[in-house]
Structure 1
Amino acid sequence: MKILVSLFAFALTLALTSPSLAEEGHGGGGHENLPEKMNALFPQPAEKPEKHDVPAKPELSAPAYFSEVAGDKTALTWKAVPGADEYHVQVATDPNFKWLVANEYHHKTTSFDVTGLEAGKHYFWRVAAVKSNNWSTFRKSFFATSMFATPAAK
């Protein structure tokens, strides 16, 4: 019995509201061209295609891959990347870059001095080019990675 009463109430509600719903859809609500009206109120920013360009991967210069570096410091160098205004430089003692010796996010030049190197270790370094104003898409290129070693102490 409860189900029958519920169905009757639902049918009565539907019958009473369907004419008013039908009238709303026929221009009575003033919703014609609503997307165009909303876009006129909130214009979209102008598209800048150069902001979608991802910087190229840097080309590392020195020290050469798997070369030996004498002393407790060295200069890491790479070629400038067109469009990049800074670089992310990392130096670590493991190839996964978990044990960082240096981590410079906003380096402006194409060389980086590493100091405090220990004898008899391998050092891994990598550089990524960054477009600092490129917040709408990728700001950073892929890392270019290399490594060098320090000779064992005698």
Structure 2
Amino acid sequence: MKILVSLFAFAMTLTLASASLAEEAHGGGGHGGGHGGLTEKMNALFPQPKADPAKNEVPAKPELESPGYYQAIKADKTTLTWKAVTGADEYHVQVATDPNFKWLVANEYSVKNNSFEVTGLEAGKHYFWRVAAVKSHNWSTFRKSFFAMSMFETPAAK
């Protein structure tokens, strides 16, 4: 008996929903989906914002300068440098001890200059670093370029 009542309720729901959808699709008046032009009146009161094409531009990928790929750093700190990217107002810099950037040594989201000093380097390790240009006002679309990546080593003392 419960199954029969459930099936009857389901059939009634489908019948009512399909009739309402059909009325809305054909622009039916009365209590249907048109709402007497209310949508058009509300859109006139609250116009949609205009698209800004500058906000859709993805910043260019930075070009790394130093340290060079696989360069030996014989100190416990170094300065990472890259060429400035036109239109970027900050940079995302990451330094890690693995190429997948799981073991981060530094993770700075808003570096304002095109250089970053890394301290606390340990001898006998490889360090991987990458930089992405960021347009901080691009919150609605892509804010960040692709990362440019390199690595350097700190040879063990002999």
Give me the TM-score of the superposition, normalised by structure 1. Answer: 0.79
The one-letter code of the counterpart of 1:37 is K
Could you tell me which residue of structure 2 aligns to residue 17 of structure 1? Answer: none
The DSSP-based 3-state class of the residue aligned with 1:70 is coil
Q: Which residue of the other structure, out of 120, 141, 153, is the alignment partner of 1:149? A: 153
Report the Cα distance in structure 2 between the residues aligned to 1:119 and 1:83, rounded to whole angstroms. 37
Q: CA deviation at 1:116?
A: 1.0
Identity of aligned residues (%): 75
Give the TM-score of the pair, scaled to structure 2: 0.77
Deviates more, 1:63-72 or 1:33-42: 33-42
Is the radius of gyration larger for structure 1 or structure 2? Answer: 1
The residue that corresponds to 2:51 in the other structure is 47
Offset at 1:149? 0.4
Measure the CA separation in 2 of the matches of 1:32 and 1:121: 71
1:76 and 2:80 matched: yes
Corresponding residue for residue 135 of structure 1: 139
Aligned residues: 136
Partner in structure 1 of residue 129 of structure 2: 125
Show CA shifts across 1:100-138 (max 9, x none). 111111100000011111111000000000011110101
Q: Which runs of 5+ in 2 are unaligned?
A: 1-7, 17-22
- Secondary structure, aligned partner of 1:146: strand
**Deviation at 1:41?**
2.0
Corresponding residue for residue 62 of structure 2: 58
- Aligned structure 1 segments of 4 or more residues deviating by more than 2 angstroms: 24-38
Report the aligned-residue RMSD. Answer: 2.6
In structure 1, runs of 5+ residues without a counterpart are 1-5, 15-20
